[in-house]
Structure 1
């Protein structure tokens, strides 16, 4: 018996293994009792993992102040909507930046894809003096979301989006020229757009507004020029979407345009920029407050609008600039990492979205960005558009007949997109048409489409750090013009040494961009 008890005691003191696989050291006397107590209170584990206890969580939940801010704004806008419903004013902003001049055109405007504006407004501002012959007029075209306020005026002293480029001795010299800048139709800064009232029924257009093209915008601008008695422009000038409009003005009204300036633009939209604008539109369409465009008088889709602007901002500025400006620095390295804006570049994007989300109409962004996607100055597209417009002009044509459908809607393809083997894709591509570092060979269709500008002095500018409208696209425009017979093409490309600001260089570089424009205009 004594031998058995000794054996049992020795066994109890022999190193053993816990249920969790951890070795247990030999213990005795009071230490043994303490060890047993601790083992009993320790959490059990299953399959080598500690079992979780009920009660307090292992870690606190992460806080999301960025989402709190969005929810607070939604609640505030909802309260404004509720209090405003009695007077039908709604909570949406006025989408304006100050006083403008308004030209009301009572003659209908037929649009390229069959839509019709029975009447429309064009908001515009002017600088300088028009000479007696009305021959010193420059039409300045805007980017996607800009207003007509390119420079301060006595009625609106706030700095404009091209403030340092307009004035005595500057790129657009007001001692020599009379400058006109309009808000495009489809916009929301005074010109007729989706947020405007449809005179047919007294209600907002919303998504009953017709699909636009860049050429439609230009035709509306020339209605204004007709009103002002301007038969021919000294120059058509624009950057980004404005550069598209400038080229379109020269092609569409070649006899009424003297010189053409196109900065950081293209003559046909390309897949990358189309894709980026598509994602921006999806951010808006997926916001539950968008309500298929009928959000006026309600909470606008400010969350989707903010995200859309953040996506856009990524394309507007360059990687090299951001490396210098932000690097990998966090807003506050002393705090734990967050899922809300944390790195400096994230806070920059957040700020850009905040500034924009309630200052531009989301529906206008949808329509104007789609017009950019549709842009193509190729000859085939011009012929197809002319034929379509001729059909729409047929007397007695109804809106349904013009659009081909009573719903006037776009549909998804019958079959979804199917991936193609890479080898098959490569065999279908024309290697000479692919973008590269040299001078691209423009397609014959584009050369033919730009033939209307063969006798016009044209300035084409690009920026090497631009990722939205890469410099090869401006090289394509210049080369297409030359192949069309134009011997008066000037092409300038700013290197990354000259500008790290990417697409937004046209807003910032007074010396290089402004200097080239001033010299070209004479």
Structure 2
């Protein structure tokens, strides 16, 4: 029996143990202790100068754990079925950039509008990290979508003109194959046996839906925001001749160290929640505390300083109350609410895998050439024609070793900044002759506006190198006056985003 089966069996046949960050704190009745800084025991004769502080924020986490033990979790993603989304099932394996593969997979998708007679009016929307395919309401699911006022008759994505498609990416949890799915090889959930993904892997899975199932030979446009902006560029890189126009909003062509660092912190917070159980939590209490804190960190990067200064300033929720270590300032209560709202809405393992895919995103020529070679080796290994495992670019999972942290002032970049820029331009030049719209937002701190300017500049250089004049590359940047919503501008300032999008799509 495999280790995964053993772990699954333990969770299935035993009562889940409550393990939370708060469980090490005596919440209701502190226990006696000799530690100098510990709580004063209830009923002690010791007269304290000040009363023991209370921690309702930690008590709330404990109560949720108890509720999950008694009632079981009912996460939103577990309710996604073929009754509210369309499902494309590919029975052929897909080989991945970092050496793994899925023997089969499914992609959840939704559509709006009608495909025209020559099947040339399709627009594929790529989503951000945690979004589902539900960008707009449908007959199957009348609930408003995350881009409800962007898509529809006469709107920015005009369904009188276009056939709009949106998918849930592989690795996700809203109907597409991900860590919470069952591995067909043994009937056990993948959990952390799921292979590492790249953004390019996601779009190659989408391509099967577009080409094999919907029988669309060429998209009118590939577009997306945030990670969707990455996917849009990746789709053009993978299938250059099969897309007419490309739109990337608040995205990048290569992840930046700052973004990688922030997502690393989110993953570490989640993985150190004891309930994560190295990914095998599906029959127990999910790591809701880690997810809540990860979301709070993420929210800091999604919104901006200007908006927060105007909405919250440095005001406390109740200035008349004694300051507390639990949420106290208005900005703290806002972050706390964001974490509470989301902690059971998304699969923690999907969050880990997809955020890692964002970190790994890099359209540089050397990186993409390495990925192609790795996928070929993985396919050869699957077919039994690989000569030796020693030749693999990426070694098997059981050979991974912990990487020691790089000491300060002991950096080890393999390429200089100038060499890296040249490598990235070579990668982007593959589709530099296409019509491309790049949109950035000045107040965005997660994907800062210079990253969108970089895409535009490198594509323009590539266009000119190919004999063009660069006029096919359009760049539009929202100033802080246009939007102070930061990275979430594409969800909140629809007119400022939608107007240039609509104009670009309709231009012959």
1:418 has 2:398 as partner: no
Equivalences for residues 53-64 of structure 1 within 5 A: 54-64=45-55
Once the two structures are TM-superposed, the CA of residue 314 in structure 1 deviates from its matched residue by 0.1
1:506 has 2:490 as partner: yes
Equivalences for residues 387-466 of structure 1 within 5 A: 387-394=373-380, 395-396=383-384, 401=389, 405-408=395-398, 410-413=400-403, 415-420=404-409, 430=417, 443-466=421-444
1:186–1:400 CA distance, 2 compared to 1 (3 A): farther
Structure 1 unaligned segments of length 5 or more: list them. 1-52, 82-89, 434-441
TM-score under structure 1 length normalisation: 0.83
- Work out whether residues 115 and 399 of structure 1, in 8 Å CA contact, stay in contact via their aligned partners in 2: no
Provide the C-alpha distance between the structure 2 equivalents of 1:496 and 1:234, rounded to a whole number of angstroms. 31
Deviations 1:473-516 (A, max 9, x none): 00000001011114301100101111100000011111110111
> 2:20 aligns to what?
none
Once the two structures are TM-superposed, the CA of residue 445 in structure 1 deviates from its matched residue by 0.8
> 1:353 aligns to what?
339
Deviations 1:158-207 (A, max 9, x none): 11111111011211110100000000000000000000011111110000
- Work out whether residues 400 and 408 of structure 1, in 8 Å CA contact, stay in contact via their aligned partners in 2: no
1:63–1:270 CA distance, 2 compared to 1 (3 A): same
Provide the C-alpha distance between the structure 2 equivalents of 1:363 and 1:259, rounded to a whole number of angstroms. 33
Structure 2 unaligned segments of length 5 or more: list them. 1-43, 464-469
Provide the C-alpha distance between the structure 1 equivalents of 2:271 and 2:154, rounded to a whole number of angstroms. 45
- Work out whether residues 288 and 301 of structure 1, in 8 Å CA contact, stay in contact via their aligned partners in 2: yes
- Work out whether residues 92 and 299 of structure 1, in 8 Å CA contact, stay in contact via their aligned partners in 2: no
User: SS of the residue aligned with 1:477?
Assistant: helix
User: SS of the residue aligned with 1:484?
Assistant: helix
User: SS of the residue aligned with 1:163?
Assistant: coil
Deviations 1:243-266 (A, max 9, x none): 000000001000101100000000
Deviations 1:364-385 (A, max 9, x none): 0000000001100001111111
Provide the C-alpha distance between the structure 1 equivalents of 2:174 and 2:300, rounded to a whole number of angstroms. 24
Deviations 1:384-418 (A, max 9, x none): 111222222223058994685454464322x4311
1:229–1:288 CA distance, 2 compared to 1 (3 A): same
1:204 to 189, 196, 207: 189
Provide the C-alpha distance between the structure 2 equivalents of 1:334 and 1:408, rounded to a whole number of angstroms. 57
Equivalences for residues 367-378 of structure 1 within 5 A: 367-378=353-364
1:148 has 2:133 as partner: yes
> 1:19 aligns to what?
none
Provide the C-alpha distance between the structure 1 equivalents of 2:393 and 2:184, rounded to a whole number of angstroms. 20
Q: Provide the aligned length of Structure 1 versus Structure 2.
A: 449
Once the two structures are TM-superposed, the CA of residue 137 in structure 1 deviates from its matched residue by 0.3
1:494–1:471 CA distance, 2 compared to 1 (3 A): same
1:357–1:277 CA distance, 2 compared to 1 (3 A): same
1:379 has 2:357 as partner: no
Equivalences for residues 48-197 of structure 1 within 5 A: 54-81=45-72, 94-96=77-79, 99-197=84-182
- Work out whether residues 112 and 213 of structure 1, in 8 Å CA contact, stay in contact via their aligned partners in 2: yes
Rg larger in structure: 1
- Work out whether residues 179 and 349 of structure 2, in 8 Å CA contact, stay in contact via their aligned partners in 1: yes
- Work out whether residues 506 and 513 of structure 1, in 8 Å CA contact, stay in contact via their aligned partners in 2: yes
> 1:437 aligns to what?
none
TM-score under structure 2 length normalisation: 0.85
